[in-house]
Structures are given as C-alpha cells and as structure tokens.
Amino acid sequence: MFPQPIKKFIDLFSTLPSIGPRQATRLAFHLIGLGKGSTAEFAQAIADLQKLKTCPQCFFIHSQISNECHICNNPQRRKDVVMIVEKETDLMSLEKAKHYQGRYFIIGDLKKNSTFDAEQKLRIGHLKNIIEKNLGGQAEEIILAMNPTTYGDLHASLITQELAGVSKKITRLGRGIPTGGEIEFADEETLGGALINRG
C-alpha cells in the first residue's frame, strides 16, 4: 500500500518510545509535506547523532572534545558524591534544579522485574572500579535517584546491596516526587526538595 521508503520509515519510527505505527505514519506524511529541504534537514539532524560520544565515567552522551562529559570534566564538581540515575533525561532534569554539585552515573533503563541486564551489571562493576581507583575504595555518598515506583524501589534496594561497602552512606531522593511519578517530568522546585530531603 505504501511506497517502500514510507513503509521503512514507519517500521523504524514506530519502535521509538511513545510512537506507534499510526503516529509514525502521520510523521512520515508530515515530513513529506514539508518539502525536500526540510526532510534533508531532519535527515542531517539524525545523521549528526552519530557524532556524539558516551562519557567513559558516567555514560552521559556529549559532544565535548575530551572523552569525558562537561560534568565529569568539571573540577568544581565533587568526585566523592555520586548520583545514580536511570537515564539521560533524568540527569538533565536534576541538573536544571541546580541543587546538586556531585557527579552522576547512568545505569540504563530499568526493566520491570527484579534483575539487571548484562550491560547494567557491567556498569555497576565499572562504578565500583571508579570508586576504588579515584576514591580509595569508598565514596562519601551515593544517591539513588530512581523513580518513586514499586520497580524503582525494588531496583534501589538491589543497587544498595550491590554497592554495600563502597560508600559511607547510600541515600534516596526525598519523596518530593509523588509515588508513581517520573523524574524526567518533575519541575525544578520539586526536584530541589527531593534532593534536600533525601534519606
């Protein structure tokens, strides 16, 4: 029914978060309607994503000249306080609150079960190695910034077990974020309160 380029576009874009086949179809026809100049601009924007790098310390995506992102590369940030977040958008939301001056560590999307995938296990091991190498084996504080959901609580408990002994204290964000809410969509004031009231 659709020409092959549209079908391929729909197949690819419908796999993205919050976009199903119907939304992908609308997007395809909308882009076509914008004209060739606009579709070329969108194509270039997608191609440019390949130029981004992943920070070897925290796994944040960046475009810095150095290997490390601008947060890990900032000497003003505390190295002995590490906040573990699930995804990049959580990190960005927490940064906007401007209440935190430590480092971050992105563990990756947490599945709705009680296990970590192979990549997440490697990342936890990587964090332990960083703490051993840079902090003499013990951080001052590790903050678990998981979403306040049943699965977030479960994974926070598992991470606490995994990191027992590598930090003087392990805390969670305060419940300024409502149960069932998501960090990515919380406002700066709520996130600031959650940071201050962590425990």
CATH number at residue 20: 1.10.8.420
For 53-93, what is each residue's pLDDT tens digit? 999 999 999 998 889 999 999 999 999 999 999 999 999 99
How confident is residue 199, by pLDDT bands cut at 50, 70 and 90?
low
Scanning the structure block, which residue is given the tokens 């606009």? 38
Instruction: Check pLDDT > 90 for residue 193.
Output: no
* 101 and 187 fall within a common domain: yes
Which residues make beta-bridge pairs with 85? 106, 145
Pairing mode of beta strands 81-85, 139-145: parallel
For 107, the domain range is 54-196
Scanning the structure block, which residue is given the tokens 């590598």? 166
* 102 and 179 fall within a common domain: yes
What's the number of domains the chain is made of? 2
For 138-168, what is each residue's pLDDT tens digit? 999 999 999 888 888 899 999 999 999 999 9
Q: How many CB atoms lie within 10 A of CB 157?
A: 14
Q: Which two tokens stand for residue 32?
A: 């076509």
Q: Which two tokens stand for residue 62?
A: 């960046």
* 104 and 180 fall within a common domain: yes
Instruction: Check pLDDT > 70 for residue 13.
Output: yes
Distance of CA 62 to the CA centre of its chain: 12
